[in-house]
Structure 1
């Protein structure tokens, strides 16, 4: 046992660790009473008091467990506990826990927040946050929900915080008017509850978010043959949410990690070849608002650096690559990566300057087999936007159109957008190709970015991790604002048409930006660039990608 641990105060521990309550299966609502952390395990019906230092838990309702099953949200104001359960909102004295009915909604009440005599209730089916007066139990007003999923609430002096399970996002709204201020992407998927612990010296709310999901694992079952079988287990925990809003730059940053990434090529040709005077270029990680490159070093062989369109590229030089010759070479980078979410509205972009000639000639043309001259792609470009002229609404409409038309599937090669649209199934690269074609035909400059995502396991620090496959997304250009990101396919979930916008002008910490707008990897021989028809890099070498999450970055 660590003897130093008990000497730390709760305040010293806050913000330094993930809280993993013992026995908890599925935590939804959470709240703080000073340094006391209260949470509801919705499946078991346990109202828990959790020690943030030791993770020890105490059941506060040992005789009322059934009454607290299916509770999805909770809030505390003075000595009163508020809960949302199925269609109803209930309150009780925190000591007696005898539930008193407050109001019933026509659909499930998801989350509840309280500030003095004002009660906030979120309802996904109504797409609303309904505001009630405690004394009259009458509706005062309602706000439109910022996301599409089940939402939980927390309230402070100025802000209404909304945590959306599907959007993987926390929204900050003005609690009096419902005006949307900014949003941040949570570092983990499936957020289910949010609480305000306190405020810092500047009045900034200190936030915690609960997460609940399942994870697959291999179970060793001695009664089965073979004994190893795939099964699932509940995962639930509570983690601090860090955020920093830059109103002038129109974005907010959230939790991040110090990550070591290695990219290595191993010469292992499918067929032996001879290539004279070889230059092998591999793009290096980019410096962006959310990603800081702390260090880059070579692996295996030295490289020189070039700057191509503002991006750093490593150049490995060989006098020749001869049959039977073997090398390993690449780079290792130390990166600080954070979540980012831009807040730009259609109203902000109603009047924009004309695109520069450079943007038009580089990012509105078919320079990557985009099939922009085919009938099916041109028809899709017209249908996607209709009569819309606002650049943001056009971009949003194009994204939703592509999501309506395509389903995700992995393929060993990338087809052109006309074939993809006709087939109706595409990989992330094929989603990007279709999006690029439709955007450029509608006058929106865009370019490919990405390449890899770190496995999104922030708790697995110091352990080498390998991504399952590479990944690409895109950036589109808004005159007077600049380049903003948009994911290719991860938000294409469900068939309802209500797609999340978490990665529309946003990225999570695990996205690693490499070579924005430039080719990730190229090969030249005697000064001539080799194409896939000449020889494929994949036929020459095997790539090895490794991520190691070193630590979580401190609060802002």
Structure 2
């Protein structure tokens, strides 16, 4: 029986337990039957490999022993597929597809390729899938005459292997060192996993696991297609961060009753907090209606010119987080706990979920879809097609942002949350400080994204602004995947009584007369503790 991790209503699921199997895990490997494998498939209990150096097609058993071998029909064999009875082989030079009896090695059919530079091949039970390096497309091909039934663009940088697992098309990309899972009905990548080697050159599915040939290591790896858990957390960066909040009063009059609120980060799938302190000490800690803890600092008077300065200093281990699951693992909307529906399906001023603009967008994006997974992916696709990233100042309400067609990360998040809630999918946001690539860096922009609740899975991160990219693989990385470049400080479902619609920080004050106030928040990252290396 498949083991599913316990769902937490207020946080991301815990990481996979030690020894857990997840999709993409390497389960074993055997030697390749040659040094130039350019195609791979599975059939009749054997792994079949095409070698373009020796112009042979070889069948090997589970140990890697050669059981059958015969000459390929052409002089540049590439992709292989098995249709349940016979093999199919692509010849690159002739641009033809050959059907071959695996027992005798005799060619039983030859059809022209519908593309100029054919290479990789797979069989989906009724038709062939064929990659075209020239057009950067993947074609579903009629095996009777070689005509194209439909085509989809390359989802990533390169296509170096194809395999059909009975439901989805797997794609090997040697340039990105990834294996991608594509739903061909929707034309979208579900997720990707790391390739087991540096140069994938063939891909097959044996009914249980994927087989991946590597041109550089001359090995064939067995890779898990399914898992008994679905969340992978990888520890990555250990850094110090000092988040400084300065409030300056340029006057000419004084401020009174100044309050500064800083969001307090905690351990989660995103991060592990080693040390955390504030300078000065906060007056008190409070918890808002979303469960967010905040540190409250009070300054009764602030003359002009004058400033307040608060530091939050933390030792952080940031973590890379991948959700690896299939749409069919998501339960119906009716399985959402009542407590989550009551908190994360309600309207908020920034969302305006009953606005006709939002209603029309949801109807167009979702249609009659019932699976919560595809509801969310449809909304994400709709946003990517109609918006582009632009910081123009301020955070408008979701309908206005969608009509304008551009927005910041916060505005993308408002639109995503609004549409998800209108469609019946609970959604909330998280806010963060960002590691700007280098270990010693600073951040004064920050970042916000969305979490959606998928029944049977839990809270899953979705980053609509970062997923606004040109390829399907890049867009898929915005769903269920977060890099180790963030310290999440804030979790919220809407306006907070302490942070308002801000994240990371907020402030309140009163002025006796005329005051010009400026707030400067900045996060300084360093591999060394504060005070060393000039940080």
Q: Same fold (TM over 0.5)?
A: yes
Distance of aligned partners of 1:446 and 1:379 in 2 relative to their CA distance in 1, 3 Å threshold: same
Give the 3-state SS of the residue equivalent to 2:361 in structure 1: helix
Taking the aligned partners of 1:207 and 1:322, their CA distance within structure 2 comes to 70
Taking the aligned partners of 2:310 and 2:273, their CA distance within structure 1 comes to 20
Taking the aligned partners of 2:523 and 2:459, their CA distance within structure 1 comes to 27
1:295 is aligned, of 254, 272, 275, to: 275
Give the 3-state SS of the residue equivalent to 1:327 in structure 2: strand
Give the 3-state SS of the residue equivalent to 1:418 in structure 2: helix
Which structure has more relative contact order (CA 8 Å, sep 6+)? It is 2
Does residue 525 of structure 2 align to residue 547 of structure 1?
A: yes
Partner of 1:150: 157
Taking the aligned partners of 2:201 and 2:399, their CA distance within structure 1 comes to 48
Query: Any unmatched runs of 5+ in structure 1?
Result: 1-33, 35-74, 84-88, 94-99, 114-119, 131-138, 174-179, 197-204, 211-242, 552-556
Matched-pair contact (CA < 8 Å) for 1:184–1:254: no
Distance of aligned partners of 1:547 and 1:78 in 2 relative to their CA distance in 1, 3 Å threshold: same
Taking the aligned partners of 1:82 and 1:181, their CA distance within structure 2 comes to 25
Does residue 457 of structure 2 align to residue 478 of structure 1?
A: no
Partner of 2:488: 513
Distance of aligned partners of 1:129 and 1:264 in 2 relative to their CA distance in 1, 3 Å threshold: farther
Query: Any unmatched runs of 5+ in structure 2?
Result: 1-28, 40-49, 55-74, 78-90, 96-113, 122-128, 163-169, 183-188, 203-210, 217-222, 530-535
Partner of 2:393: 412
Does residue 172 of structure 2 align to residue 162 of structure 1?
A: yes
Query: Could you give the per-residue CA deviations for residues 113-133 of structure 1, whole angstroms, max 9, x where no partner exists?
Result: 9xxxxxx99657443799xxx
Distance of aligned partners of 1:484 and 1:534 in 2 relative to their CA distance in 1, 3 Å threshold: farther
Distance of aligned partners of 1:468 and 1:207 in 2 relative to their CA distance in 1, 3 Å threshold: farther
Taking the aligned partners of 1:478 and 1:150, their CA distance within structure 2 comes to 30
Partner of 1:66: none
Give the 3-state SS of the residue equivalent to 2:305 in structure 1: coil
Number of positions where the alignment pairs a residue of Structure 1 with one of Structure 2: 392
Query: Could you give the per-residue CA deviations for residues 262-287 of structure 1, whole angstroms, max 9, x where no partner exists?
Result: 21111223556645444422112332
TM-score after normalising by structure 1: 0.57
Distance of aligned partners of 1:356 and 1:78 in 2 relative to their CA distance in 1, 3 Å threshold: closer
How far has the Cα of 1:335 moved from its partner? Answer: 1.6
Between structure 1 and structure 2, the one with the greater Rg is 2
2:262 is aligned, of 253, 257, 282, to: 282
Aligned residue runs from structure 1 range 489-500, under 5 A: 489-494=465-470, 500=475
Give the 3-state SS of the residue equivalent to 2:76 in structure 1: strand
Partner of 1:251: 231
Taking the aligned partners of 2:451 and 2:214, their CA distance within structure 1 comes to 31
Matched-pair contact (CA < 8 Å) for 1:280–1:521: no
Give the 3-state SS of the residue equivalent to 2:476 in structure 1: coil
Matched-pair contact (CA < 8 Å) for 1:110–1:123: yes
Distance of aligned partners of 1:325 and 1:111 in 2 relative to their CA distance in 1, 3 Å threshold: farther
Partner of 1:329: 310
TM-score after normalising by structure 2: 0.59
Distance of aligned partners of 1:127 and 1:478 in 2 relative to their CA distance in 1, 3 Å threshold: same
Taking the aligned partners of 2:305 and 2:199, their CA distance within structure 1 comes to 58
How far has the Cα of 1:388 moved from its partner? Answer: 1.1
Does residue 337 of structure 2 align to residue 359 of structure 1?
A: no
How far has the Cα of 1:149 moved from its partner? Answer: 0.8
How far has the Cα of 1:507 moved from its partner? Answer: 0.9
Q: CA RMSD in A?
A: 5.2
How far has the Cα of 1:146 moved from its partner? Answer: 12
Distance of aligned partners of 1:412 and 1:172 in 2 relative to their CA distance in 1, 3 Å threshold: closer
Taking the aligned partners of 1:382 and 1:77, their CA distance within structure 2 comes to 53
How far has the Cα of 1:447 moved from its partner? Answer: 0.7
Q: Which shows bigger deviation, 144-153 or 315-324?
A: 144-153
Taking the aligned partners of 2:349 and 2:175, their CA distance within structure 1 comes to 37
